[in-house]
Amino acid sequence: MATLKIGDTVKMKSGGSAKVLAEFGSGGQGTVYKVNYNGKEYALKWYHSNAFYGKEDEFYTNLENNIMKGAPTEAFLWPLGITEKQNGSFGYIMDIYPDGYEELTNFFVGSKKKPQVRFKSFAALITAAINIIQAFRELHNRGYSYQDINNGNFFIDPANGRVLICDNDNVSPYGTNLGIRGKQRWMAPEIVTLQCDPDKQSDRFSLAVVLFRLLFINHPLEGRYSTPPCMTKALEKKYYGTEPIFVFDPTDTRNRPIPGTDHNLKLFWGIYPEYIREIFCRAFSQDVMLKRKPRVLEKEWLDAFFRLRAETGTCPVCQKEMFYAAEKENCCFECGKRIPQTARLVFKNDSLSLSLFTHMKVYLWNVDTSMQDIETVVGEVVENTKNPNLLGMRNVSAYTWMITLPDNTQRQLEPGSVVPLKNGFVIDFMNNKRAIATIEA
């Protein structure tokens, strides 16, 4: 049974059977159906019988193992149950992605039926980036690699940046590959050139492509140099494999964007802070792409994007979003107006400084990355109700903060209370002498 019909039933390994209700769509590896199993609706991915590259049994066992171990995080639309083998094929069920989520592809292009999707805010975009990075971090921490990251694997809510990752059937433990290489334009150079099997390191290259395209839409390796009149397989190997060049490589300018195709790059490359441009320049440097230096780690991406999230605020002039750099006077990238320098929060341990502006939020990640928490907000900058020019930071965490004043006296700040942003005040966020920052006003 290569394809299923509406009304067909397939037996589940764990007992009972799933009934086909409708077809969602068909791809190279198989067809996805809407099914009913035990009174609930799921998506069933049913493979073409030639989809396994001769490793059918390993594929089946790997899926069973993954189902048993469970999803690394809620961001994964993880396989929940596997069918019995029937007529040379099988499938697995997973949750159906809910309304409001859009395919990553739709963020890059539109169609006649559907306009290109835009993030509702930079905050949502940055949250999506953080959610994707964290999902792969957790996946890798569990010893898995994804092996086939591409534009077809992600569903994102443009309003809030929530992410769901599908097609988790090639996810394999360390050292295992079930025959997949990946998709052209998303594969790491060493996979394009067949030097290695896909693994955690090649995932990290593809992750960098996903992140670049979330922010800048265009492809990081496609510019003047890599656009011959006719792209052949041999040339693809060169431009994405043996000799890739980043469009914004600081030293090699051969692959700069082609005028007329660079609208998004011109729009966005310049507005992000230097450290965001730098991390992309590093991720797509020759040394890192060709693995002479290590790939950018998920932790490093998280640090950069958490900093960016903390720096994303509202312009007091035009009320649109802008990024507040701590070190200098800012200029709103929407209205172009100069915004005076704000007070700053200077962290003791890793020299991070954050600008303190109204509604600015400090995340637990900014304070202490060892907590592995990407959700919790610990502090929020608020205006004094009597005098809006006076700013303070509200303790919205569950911890009592220890504030050290310039005269070395100490005061506790209970959750819910506010400390004014005064020069020289030192905040110990968890009262454990690890997460300490000084206010400079």
Which stretches of the chain bind other proteins, using CB under 8 A? 1-3, 5, 27-29, 48-50, 53, 103, 105-106, 108-114, 116, 118-122, 125, 148, 150-151, 177, 179-185, 194, 197, 213, 217-219, 222, 227-234, 237, 258, 260-261, 263-264, 267-268, 271, 320-321, 333-334
Q: Would you tell me how many other CB atoms lie within 10 Å of the CB of residue 394?
A: 17
Helix or strand or coil: residue 311? helix
Residue 251 C-alpha from the chain's centroid: 27
What are 383's strand-pairing partners?
391
Q: In whole angstroms, what is the distance from residue 312 CA to residue 106 CA?
A: 25
Cβ of residue 390: shortest distance to other proteins, in angstroms? 30
Q: In whole angstroms, what is the distance from residue 141 CA to residue 264 CA?
A: 34
H/E stretch holding 47 reads strand 40-47
- Cβ distance to other proteins smaller for residue 24 or 53: 53
Contacts for 194 with CB less than 8 Å, ≥ 6 apart: none
- Cβ distance to other proteins smaller for residue 213 or 344: 213
Cβ of residue 267: shortest distance to other proteins, in angstroms? 6
- Cβ distance to other proteins smaller for residue 101 or 333: 333
- Cβ distance to other proteins smaller for residue 3 or 404: 3
- Output the six-digit token pair for 134: 């964290």
Cβ of residue 321: shortest distance to other proteins, in angstroms? 7
- Cβ distance to other proteins smaller for residue 178 or 391: 178
- Cβ distance to other proteins smaller for residue 252 or 334: 334
Cβ of residue 356: shortest distance to other proteins, in angstroms? 24
Handedness of CA 123, 124, 130, 133 (dihedral sign): negative
- Cβ distance to other proteins smaller for residue 19 or 219: 219
Cβ of residue 89: shortest distance to other proteins, in angstroms? 9
Q: In whole angstroms, what is the distance from residue 439 CA to residue 347 CA?
A: 9
Q: In whole angstroms, what is the distance from residue 69 CA to residue 322 CA?
A: 42
Cβ of residue 406: shortest distance to other proteins, in angstroms? 41
Burial of 63 (0-12, 13-18, 19+ CB in 10 A): buried
Q: In whole angstroms, what is the distance from residue 361 CA to residue 379 CA?
A: 6
- Cβ distance to other proteins smaller for residue 102 or 428: 102
Cβ of residue 405: shortest distance to other proteins, in angstroms? 41
Contacts for 57 with CB less than 8 Å, ≥ 6 apart: none
Cβ of residue 433: shortest distance to other proteins, in angstroms? 41
CA distance to 91, 140, 145, 149, per residue, from 177 (Å) = 19, 15, 9, 14
